[in-house]
Amino acid sequence: MKLNLSRRDLILIAAFWLVGCALMVVVLYFAVFQPTTPPPSTGGGVPQATFTLVAGDQTARNLQAAAQAQVTRWQADAQLFTVAATWEQADLAHLAEPATWTYRFYSPALRRFYFVTVRPDGEATGISHSERVRTPPPVINPDAWQVDSPQALNIWLNRGGAAMLQAIPGIQVVAQLQASSPNDPLMWAVAGYDKISKNYHTVFINAQTGEVINIETSLN
């Protein structure tokens, strides 16, 4: 009887030991091989990069020339006031790919909007809005636009965006450059949004300095 109990005890001890070793291997794997993501913070400054997207030539700033050429054929006095792009079913690889950008212009002479869509290959198409605008939008100062779209996406990733992508695959990511008022700085707003859970994570970035102005998130 004692011999049987001793064997059972040895088997149980060996089983617990093997399970413990397996758990240790899993912990070490995630600690060593998985990238770390800093927690969201509302503090200013340019964050240290952990995730870095490789910038190609098809950035928001580089494609602006095609948009400007298109809108000039419509109205020479048109001024840029918003730049935006959307990534559906986003992941890290998708965000590194060139995007289709939409440039919104305003003509003071006509008091109308004109939207230009530029594909990654540089093909531009435009459409004007027939209704007159009562309140002119704040326009983008070209000298204040120093942070391009890849840098804005990188800042979003390193301020909680990457963690959201990993936790909720297939979210929608939107990047928009806009001056909210003449006295406010030009800002990038980069947001991740999950249509199912309604979770969101938005980082507001100074488009001239790269400083994080604010973070709004529903994530814990």
- When divided into structural domains, the chain yields a total of 2
Is residue 210 one of the residues assigned to a domain? yes
Tell me how long the chain is.
220
97 and 1 inside one domain: no
Is residue 111 one of the residues assigned to a domain? no
4-35 per-position pLDDT tens digit? 444 544 443 344 344 344 333 323 233 333 33
82 and 155 inside one domain: yes
Q: How far apart are CA 88 and CA 174, in angstroms?
A: 9
Is residue 63 one of the residues assigned to a domain? no
86 and 150 inside one domain: yes
Is residue 124 one of the residues assigned to a domain? no
85 and 168 inside one domain: yes
CA atoms within a 13 Å half-sphere pointing along the CA-CB vector of 41: 13
Q: Please report the DSSP string for the chain in residue order.
A: -HHHHHHHHHHHHHHHHHHHHHHHHHHHHHHHHSPP-PPP----SPPPPSS-PPP-S--TTTTHHHHHHHHHTT-TT-EEEEEEEEEEEE-HHHHTS---EEEEEEETTTTEEEEEEE-TT--EEEEE--SPPSSPPPPPPGGG--S-HHHHHHHHIIIIIHHHHHHSTTEEEEEEEE-SSTTSPPEEEEEEE-TTT--EEEEEEETTT--EEEEEES--
Q: What is the pLDDT of residue 49?
A: 54
90 and 184 inside one domain: yes
Residue 131 has pLDDT above 70, yes or no: yes
Is residue 207 one of the residues assigned to a domain? yes
Q: Measure the N-to-C terminal CA separation of the chain; round to a whole number of Å.
A: 55
Is residue 192 one of the residues assigned to a domain? yes
- Closest C-alpha to 39, from 160, 132, 198, 202: 160
212 and 148 inside one domain: yes
Which residue range(s) make up the domain with 153? 78-101+136-217
137-193 per-position pLDDT tens digit? 999 999 999 999 999 999 999 999 999 999 998 999 999 999 888 788 999 999 999
Is residue 58 one of the residues assigned to a domain? no
